[in-house]
Amino acid sequence: MTDLRQSQIFRTSKLEEADGPGLNPTATPTMGDIIAARFSRRGFLKGSMASAAIAATVSPVALLAAGEARAQGASAFSFPEVEAGVDADHHVAEGYDADVLLRWGDKVFADAPEFDPRAQSEAAQERQFGYNNDFVGFIPLDGAADRGLLVVNHEYTNEHLMFPNVVTLQDGEMVVADATEDRANIEMAAHGGTVIELRKEGGKWVPVLDGRLNRRITAKTRMQLTGPAAGHDRLKTSEDASGTEVLGTINNCAGGVTPWGTYIMAEENIHGYFLGELPADHPEARNHERLGVPGASYQWGRFHKRFDLGQEPNEPNRFGWIVEVDVMDPASVPKKRTALGRFKHEGAESVVAKDGRVVFYLGDDERFDYVYKFVTAGRYNPDDRAANMDLLDEGTLYVARFEADGSMRWIPLVHGEGPLTAENGFESQADVLIETRRAADLLEATPMDRPEDIQPNPQTGRAYVMLTNNTKRTEANAANPRVENAFGHIIEILEADGDFTATTGRWEILLQCGDPSVAEVGATFSTETTKNGWFGMPDNAAVDADGRLWVSTDGNSMADTGRTDGLWAVDTEGDARGTSRLFYRVPVGAELCGPCPTEDMTTFFVAVQHPGDGGEDWEGHGRLSYYEDLSTRWPDFQDDMPVRPAVVAITRQGGGRIG
């Protein structure tokens, strides 16, 4: 998510900027203010001396050249580009269908109640598709191309869009009514994840509501803590003397599907769910502060004491992990794999290395936080699924240091090595993992501009790091080359010898994002990129079976970039490298998550998250957006139905490969 977004910001009086405190808690203007001040789209003179070269990016000559280059096959993509812009609907490239597959409130089980937004209940929501779909993964069943499990994270809830009669306007701002216990429980049931069987009928995907493996995971689902930190005193609470049993998962942002077909849910902005105050001089104070706990964005702690720090000071230590779900057993207990560290986990995309070990790339989404990877100790066994089921409990977690000369190092986070000793408060590997951020600080990892999804390309030994933005950066460095980085950038990691387990490598900046026709932005899209093709704020990414990169975004808007978020196809190879084109765009207020191409590239699943959350800056609405006065009622467009986050299946008309 962009940040804990307007819903939480409006809900509480704490107007902290919601992507957390970071290492630099100094108050600064919001990103919108900075963009308005520095990169005013209307105020810039294009084609001045300083920007002559950049102005050429949109000249007819360049566009002609682009057409020729594409005709010569320089680009890996050939679809007709969507026009960038903002409106109430979604749009896909001509020749493709974008079909709404699963909406918030849709049945996940045959016996689930029909969605009734004016009579929501916890019991109903536990049987229905959750809110704010983020990560999407597809796990084929029985090797069939027309049958599989869709796994979907439900990252968070927007109360002002979900619930009728909770918003009042005061002095031009939204105020959301205090939660009731019922509402808190509905919100908890709308979090987590969904596992649902899909079948292809007549070329279109349909949910199989009586699928044996269908499942809802929520903020109350029983889970197990495993790996080096499991059972540690710092994970024990009054409800769980073992330090191994925890209820639920929250703020599951991006994620992954492992080579052995399990579903990974990454716990990201966990701080917002805790309220209250730690007892004075509590030993967890430093740890909680480093993660922004308590963020007090949600009020669950008023009804569930485990979210109240004063009553359960260790509960936050049981969140911020990577969760693994065995989707082949709907009764399986999801496992929080502590070996992969604890921070604001964006995602966990993986790849099998040459020697059979499995490498997971992990971003910590906060300004000035880090890029990590985890290398399993054991090797993947493609012939024995059961043998892989605990691979994530043993291995090495590394944090990245990007050097100015284009080299990089992966520094291991191992107790007893370097500064990770008792002297610095790390008594064991459990301490290193519980306080991963502080360990990485001491190892002098490179503070980045909000690392989001990191996508390896198994064909090339490279990985693509989405760095979404960081408007608080005041000093540039080679890997984060722009101060007040409003539009983000993408780094390409080249692992040594193409070996994903390597501890050294090289890196390059693939793209600096933003409008290339505005010189001061400093965007570096290729000159073949059209006015529709550039984007800001890269967030999620996918590499398809042909090794092509797709990027989805979070934070574009009429005011900031003159466009909604969407899915862009980005060339990484040859002369076309750095060329981007728009394939799909979302309705006003939404971000695009979870881009998931199927292995045969005939379907692209995408997740439209928080549609209708915003629209003040769009002439089609021009005011705050909330349940009673929405900027869009996508995808139903019915007066009695609110806007609904949804997963969309994109296919080519008449069938065939996408792109």
Which residues of this protein are in contact with ligand FEO, per CB under 6 A? 1, 155, 253, 268, 346, 365, 452
Rounded to the nearest whole angstrom, what is the least distance from the CB of residue 438 to ligand FEO in the complex?
20
Q: What does 155 interact with, of ligand FEO, Ca ion, none (CB < 5 to 8 A by kind)?
A: ligand FEO
Q: Where are the beta strands (DSSP E) in 179-251?
A: 192-201, 204-207, 215-217, 222-226, 245-247
Burial of 53 (0-12, 13-18, 19+ CB in 10 A): exposed
CB-nearer residue toward ligand FEO: 253 or 348: 253
Residue closest to Ca ion, measured at CB: 554
CB-nearer residue toward ligand FEO: 255 or 395: 255
Rounded to the nearest whole angstrom, what is the least distance from the CB of residue 319 to ligand FEO in the complex?
14
Q: What does 81 interact with, of ligand FEO, Ca ion, none (CB < 5 to 8 A by kind)?
A: none
d(C-alpha 105, C-alpha 161), whole Å: 13
Q: What does 122 interact with, of ligand FEO, Ca ion, none (CB < 5 to 8 A by kind)?
A: none
CB-nearer residue toward ligand FEO: 594 or 635: 594
Give, for 343, the enclosing helix (H) or strand (E).
none
Q: What does 613 interact with, of Ca ion, ligand FEO, none (CB < 5 to 8 A by kind)?
A: none
Rounded to the nearest whole angstrom, what is the least distance from the CB of residue 217 to Ca ion in the complex?
19
Q: In sequence order, what are the residues at sequence separation of 6 or more whose Cβ sits closer than 8 angstroms to the Cβ of residue 578?
A: 510, 511, 524, 525, 526, 529, 570, 571
d(C-alpha 580, C-alpha 593), whole Å: 18
Burial of 309 (0-12, 13-18, 19+ CB in 10 A): buried
Rounded to the nearest whole angstrom, what is the least distance from the CB of residue 248 to ligand FEO in the complex?
17
Residue with tokens 């869709």: 150
CB-nearer residue toward Ca ion: 267 or 554: 554
Q: What does 565 interact with, of Ca ion, ligand FEO, none (CB < 5 to 8 A by kind)?
A: none
325 strand-pairing partners: 263
Burial 601-628 (b: 16+ CB within 10 A, else e): bbbbbbbbbbbbbbbebbeebeebbbbe
Residue with tokens 């796990």: 139
CB-nearer residue toward ligand FEO: 248 or 313: 248
Rounded to the nearest whole angstrom, what is the least distance from the CB of residue 657 to ligand FEO in the complex?
29
CB-nearer residue toward Ca ion: 243 or 320: 320
Residues making up the chain, counted from first to last: 659
User: In 122-277, where does DSSP find H-type helix?
Assistant: 122-125, 159-162, 181-190
Q: Are 298 and 276 in contact (CB under 8 A)?
A: no
Site residues for Ca ion per CB under 5 A: 253, 452-453, 455, 539, 554
Rounded to the nearest whole angstrom, what is the least distance from the CB of residue 426 to Ca ion in the complex?
29
CB-nearer residue toward ligand FEO: 162 or 358: 162
Rounded to the nearest whole angstrom, what is the least distance from the CB of residue 236 to Ca ion in the complex?
31
Q: Residue 34 carries which side chain, given as an amino acid letter?
A: I
Q: What does 312 interact with, of ligand FEO, Ca ion, none (CB < 5 to 8 A by kind)?
A: none
Rounded to the nearest whole angstrom, what is the least distance from the CB of residue 590 to Ca ion in the complex?
12
Closest CA to 249 of 222, 214, 215, 272: 222
Q: What does 16 interact with, of ligand FEO, Ca ion, none (CB < 5 to 8 A by kind)?
A: none
Residue with tokens 């929080």: 336
CB-nearer residue toward ligand FEO: 126 or 268: 268
What the block records as the tokens of 229 is 């930190």
CB-nearer residue toward ligand FEO: 308 or 452: 452
Closest CA to 535 of 518, 519, 509, 554: 554
Rounded to the nearest whole angstrom, what is the least distance from the CB of residue 158 to ligand FEO in the complex?
13
Q: Are 135 and 153 in contact (CB under 8 A)?
A: yes
Q: What does 453 interact with, of Ca ion, ligand FEO, none (CB < 5 to 8 A by kind)?
A: Ca ion
At residue 32, the 3 state secondary structure works out as helix
Q: What does 17 interact with, of Ca ion, ligand FEO, none (CB < 5 to 8 A by kind)?
A: none
